[in-house]
């Protein structure tokens, strides 16, 4: 069967239960647990906060202002996420620049 529990309808006008096409709760819990086991914090040197701070970008004087603005924007975003999510029971921090990888 398509997706998780049911085949997709092949004609118009068929009543569809959207829950037939989503992951079941027990599978979601298992996959979430597996993903958590493989989570590894990203070192600051490899996060978006340090993007463009190494050669060849740091060697270009013409890029210095743009890189400084970018890094300031990322620091502001980090602070915004920290402030906004601080009081939440389940904070959504997936978009924090310090958690996003950056590899050169």
Q: What are the structural domain ranges in the chain?
A: 1-39, 42-104
H helical segments located in 1-104: 25-37, 64-85
Does 82 have pLDDT greater than 90?
A: yes
Contact present, 88 and 36 (Cβ < 8 Å): no
pLDDT at 2: 42
Among 6-10, 14-18, 80-84, the least confident range = 6-10
Give the CA angle between residues 76, 63, 74 to the nearest 5°: 15
d(CA 101, CA 43): 9
Who wins on pLDDT, 5 or 104? 5
pLDDT at 70: 94
pLDDT digits (tens, 9 = 90+) for 14-66: 888 877 777 777 888 888 878 777 777 888 888 888 888 888 998 999 999 99
How would residue 1 be classed by pLDDT, with cut points 50, 70 and 90? very low
**With a threshold of 0.75, does the pTM exceed it?**
no
pLDDT digits (tens, 9 = 90+) for 90-101: 888 878 888 888
């Amino acid at each position: 069967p398509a997706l998780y529990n049911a085949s997709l309808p092949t004609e118009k006008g068929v009543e569809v239960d959207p829950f037939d096409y989503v992951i079941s709760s027990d599978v979601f819990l298992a996959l979430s647990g597996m993903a958590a086991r493989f989570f590894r914090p990203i070192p600051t040197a490899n996060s978006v906060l340090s993007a463009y701070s190494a050669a060849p970008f740091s060697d270009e004087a013409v890029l210095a202002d743009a890189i400084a603005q970018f890094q300031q924007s990322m620091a502001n975003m980090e602070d915004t996420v920290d402030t906004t999510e601080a009081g939440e029971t389940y904070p959504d921090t997936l978009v924090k620049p310090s958690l996003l990888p950056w590899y050169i």
